[in-house]
Amino acid sequence: MKIVIDQNIPGYEETFARHGEVLQVDGRKLIGEQLRDAQALIVRSITRVDAALLADSSVRFVGTATIGTDHLDISWLERHGITWACAPGCNADAAAQYTLAMMLLASRRLGFELKECSIGIVGFGNVGSRLCRLLKTWGVVRLTINDPPKAATGQCGLSDLDHIKQCDVVSFHVPLNTAGPFATQGMIGPRFLSCLKPHALLVNTSRGKVTESRALHDWLVSGRGFAALDVFPEEPEIDPGLIAACTVATPHIAGYSLDGKMTGTLMVYRQFCKWLSTPPAENKLLASLEMHALKPDQVQIPADAILASCPVQRDDANLRMVTGMSPAQQSAWFDTLRKDYPRRRDFAGWELPQDVPPAQAAILKNLGFH
C-alpha cells in the first residue's frame, strides 16, 4: 500500500508507516500526479481534497488530522465510495488554552482585568465548552453562550446574538458553514460589528472566513473595538494592515500543540485501521511526550505561567514580521511559521516547581498544569 501524508503530521512512523510505503508531501502544493498510485491520503486543513485532486487517483481512504472538514468535498468522496475520516476534538484543549492566553495578553496590552469582563462564547462545541471551563476556573463569572444548532435541539442555557453583542469580550469557536440555517461564513461582518459594545475585544480562533476582512479592518482602525485573531480569511495570503490593526495576531497555531497533533494522528490512524479491517499497531505516542518545566519566576503570577506555556507574545511578534514583505514573501512566511512551529505542550504537559505558593498552585492545577 502507498500512503501519501502531509509532511507536518507527526507520529506517522509509529502508525501509518507500519502498513505500507509512506510518501511525505507539502500539503499546500500537493497535486494529483503524486496520488496516482496511492491508496490512502492523510492531510491537514491546508489541502483541498476534491475531484480536481483525486479524480485520476486510486485513493480509497482520506483522513484529515484536524477537527474541521470544510476542506474536504465530502459529498464527492461519498458518491465515489471513498472513505473519509477526521479528528473532532483532537486539539480542543490546545485551542481553548491558547485562546485564554490570547485574551490574557490582549487584556495586558489594553489594560483591563479579564475576570472582571463579561465574555460571550459563540459556538459551544469541543473548544468553546473547554474555554468556558477555563474561564470559570480563572474567575470569570459573567459568561454568555451562543450556539444556534444546539439551541435548535432544545438545549437550555443558551443566549441569542443580541446578548452576545453586549459582552466586553466575544470569542468565536464555530465551524465554517457556507450555507444553510447555521451559516457562519462572513458572520463577523458590518452588521455584527456595528452592534458590538464600544471597545469590545473580538477573538477568533475558529476559521478565517468567518470574518469579513475589510469590515473588521475598518472597525478596528475606526477605534470602535479591538481584535485578537489566530485565523485570517485568505490564508496563506494575509493582510498586513489587518494584522497591524489587531491587538494580538498569531499565525493559525492555536491548536498547534504537540498533544493535539499526536491525538489527531492517532484518531485518524484508528479509523484508517478500521477501514483496513486490521488492528492498530501498538504505539506510545502520547505517553512518550517529554514534560516541560515551568520556572519559579513564571508561576508567581498565574497569567505568566499561561503565557509561558502558550507563547502568544512570541507568535504575535513573529507574524508581525510580514511588514514590508512582498505578498509572495508574506504567504511563504505565514506557512513557514506553521511548518516550523516549535514544540508546544498542553497545560497537562507542564510541571510546576516545588515551591509554588499554594494559592497560585491551586489555580494552575485546576487549569490542568501538573
List, by residue number, the catalytic residues: 207, 235, 252
List % helix, strand, coil for the chain (3-state, nearest 5): 40, 15, 45
Return the bridge partners of 188, or none: 211
Is residue 144 within 8 Å of residue 164, measured between CB atoms? yes
CA distance 319 to 16: 33
Task: Please name which of 67, 248, 47, 63 lies closest in space to residue 174, comparing C-alpha atoms.
Answer: 67
CA distance 240 to 260: 28
Using only the alpha carbons of the chain, give its radius of gyration: 21
81 Rama sector, left if φ>0, alpha if ψ -120 to 50, beta otherwise? left
**Cell 497555531 appears where?**
253
CA distance 261 to 75: 26
- Say if residue 282 is exposed, middle or buried (CB neighbours under 10 Å; 0-12, 13-18, 19+): exposed
Neighbour count for residue 167 (Cβ, 10 Å): 23
Is residue 169 within 8 Å of residue 117, measured between CB atoms? yes
Is residue 312 within 8 Å of residue 250, measured between CB atoms? yes
Neighbour count for residue 187 (Cβ, 10 Å): 18
CA distance 237 to 342: 22
CA distance 189 to 146: 17
Question: 51-74 burial, b for 16+ CB within 10 Å, e for fewer?
Answer: eebbeebebbbbbbbbbbbbbbbe
